Amino acid sequence: MKTLAIAALVALSSLATFNTHAQTAAPAAVAKNDALYQALGGKPGLQALMDVFVAGLKADKRIGEQFKDTKSSFLASQLVDQVCMVTGGPCKYDGADMKTAHADMGITRANFNALVEVLQVSMDARNIPFSTQNQLLALLAPMHRDIVTAK
């Protein structure tokens, strides 16, 4: 199993789903150039990926309930902006920082891992190369510290 990928995906999903509760951002490390952003297909590629990802989150039996009241288009848009920014793209993510957004949600490591798995499946469905997936997950993985708050 892609352990690093799982951690990063969970962070990403959790971020996008629950960021409606805050106003300021403090995302993961930002890429120093836009090579990863370009490898993911720029903004159109990210939008396509996040559309698949959000649909997968909502359909997932393990964590779908957490996303049932989240507007899919809003969540996807927030995720696109965040991933665009952290991968060196021109977007500005203005959602909540992860710690604030997830403080009272009781997200477990199992929840986080399920989210990452959905992201991996989504990237596979979009034919994103494994090395590109790993680069993205490596940027997103540190978010788990602020997202996982329950055992």
Predicted local distance difference test score (pLDDT) of residue 40: 98
Residue pLDDT, tens place only, 26-71: 445 677 799 999 999 999 999 999 999 999 999 999 999 989 999 9
**Domains of the chain listed by start with CATH number:** 3-147 (1.10.490.10)
Task: Write phi, then psi, for 51 (nearest 5 degrees).
Answer: -65, -45
Q: Which two tokens stand for residue 29?
A: 């490390």
* Contact between residue 121 and residue 55 where contact means Cβ atoms under 8 Å apart: no
Task: Output the CA–CA distances (angstroms, integers) from residue 71 to 18, 19, 44, 74, 114, in the order listed.
Answer: 11, 12, 20, 5, 20
